[in-house]
Structure 1
């Protein structure tokens, strides 16, 4: 199919089609007369490109989506878009403050917090692949909108950036990659947020959580001790993540630095420790399982 007809079917201009061809997003064959011949697959690809471009993806991002068979790139871009929206909302709040008479010196720390939050969350996404990266990025993003005021906070920020810049790659074997893709390909931002909110509620009121989920927790503990779980791919993934976090400096560098950087995260971490103590008091077998997995 020649470019004129391709343009009509895809609702793209000839200039746009030529540009996407030059950018190697489509690969029409060349006829003897030098004209480009677009196949049915090229047409479908151009339609997808049109959609992605309308959603704000760059040509390089579109290219990355097409070369990624796992779907991780699209999910990562979705998280970036979510975080971008949050930052734009924060900027609007700052503009409102200026319009109400706040001077530029008063809002400078708020603006710096937005910029620093963007740096950390972007690096979190880059440092950790797939679902794991999306989860911890969204998990920590809510603690990164506080202004850096003290020298200790500035030092902690530098530690976090240094850690993320040099974090070793998290490598999964082929069978674990396939397992993770299948298990997480339908987990979007909404589900991750619900999981984070559920965790937040459980540590804020652990007694209520334990009371309301007693049966579920007991079944969960029984399953965790079973040979079925210990021989499963899920167990292998958890063991790999635990070992990676232990050896990469995640526990020794990243978490302590996050507690210094963010007052709200330090408070959250204390709540989490108290909730864990109550959980272990009611279910001491959890401690045994943790010891066995070390």
Structure 2
């Protein structure tokens, strides 16, 4: 079919269709007379693009979604970002209600100043900074600690450092490893999986000694498996090694984690508890240091 009909059936303008073609989102056939020839599949593609755009997803992000083998899993990140936007809008609504009631400009001014550098921005940047849904999992993990206002010079400097890091960081995963990560996460609801991980970690941190004693045999079997050549050469093993290498060379610990400690007392407390649990773990399983302290 010709462009006019494709536009009518997709609800898009000619300029929009040409733009999406120029960005590589679709490639219609070309007739002998030079006119583009749009197939039923092209129209379905255009309707898919139009739907995602109307949901507020950017063209670059749409490209990654269209290429995904599990589009539902790929969309999870953008559903989460939409949730953050709604939370921000609710904060604005609350400020308007308060201002309408008592017109305390100074109090609302201070609150909005904090919103200029608030947890939503960090959580959004984190979700978008890494491939696949890896960023979503990091954002869900760290986001729960980012509920404190950025209200001191030290916190503002830490905030800028984290934003700068997230803007510059690049994590490249070979296609086969990115696909392995996608498959590992695709079958899970990201928030639910993260909640289960957090609950399991809290159980460990509550009483590390008790947990290590109760799980000693399973942990020893797991460490033996991780030392095996089969694991090292598996997609999971190679992915873990690549992520560890990335953390070492990118400033993940020195920039991201250290500044998050400045931004959040809750995160600082969490890392102190984690260090104590790690010390107990390595004391009981010294052979694990070669696996995790590289």
Same fold (TM over 0.5): yes
Whether 1:136 aligns to 2:138 is yes
> What is the alpha-carbon distance in structure 1 between the residues aligned to residue 266 and residue 149 of structure 2?
12
> What is the alpha-carbon distance in structure 2 between the residues aligned to residue 126 and residue 141 of structure 1?
13
* Structure 2 counterpart of 1:173: 174
* Structure 2 counterpart of 1:80: 81
> What is the alpha-carbon distance in structure 2 between the residues aligned to residue 102 and residue 218 of structure 1?
62
Is the Cα–Cα contact under 8 Å of residues 132 and 178 in structure 2 kept in the other structure?
Answer: no
User: What TM-score do the two structures reach when normalised by structure 2?
Assistant: 0.77
* Structure 2 counterpart of 1:252: 254
Distance 1:171 1:63, change over 3 A: closer
Cα offset, 1:243, TM superposition = 1.9
Moved more, 250-259 or 77-86: 77-86
Structure 2 unaligned residues grouped into runs of 5+: none
Structure 1 unaligned residues grouped into runs of 5+: none
Is the Cα–Cα contact under 8 Å of residues 3 and 37 in structure 1 kept in the other structure?
Answer: yes
Cα offset, 1:41, TM superposition = 1.1
* Residues 203-231 of structure 1 deviation map (CA, whole Å, 9 limit, x = unaligned): 55234655665564344233223332233
Cα offset, 1:103, TM superposition = 2.2
Cα offset, 1:59, TM superposition = 5.1
Moved more, 214-223 or 149-158: 214-223
Is the Cα–Cα contact under 8 Å of residues 114 and 145 in structure 1 kept in the other structure?
Answer: no
* Structure 1 counterpart of 2:266: 264
Give runs of ≥4 in structure 1 deviating > 6 Å.
30-36
Q: How many residue pairs align between the two structures? A: 287
Q: What RMSD over aligned residues (CA atoms) do the two structures have, in Å?
A: 3.6
2:157 alignment partner, one of 155, 158, 168: 155
Distance 1:242 1:54, change over 3 A: same
Cα offset, 1:17, TM superposition = 4.8
Cα offset, 1:76, TM superposition = 3.9
> What is the alpha-carbon distance in structure 2 between the residues aligned to residue 93 and residue 212 of structure 1?
48
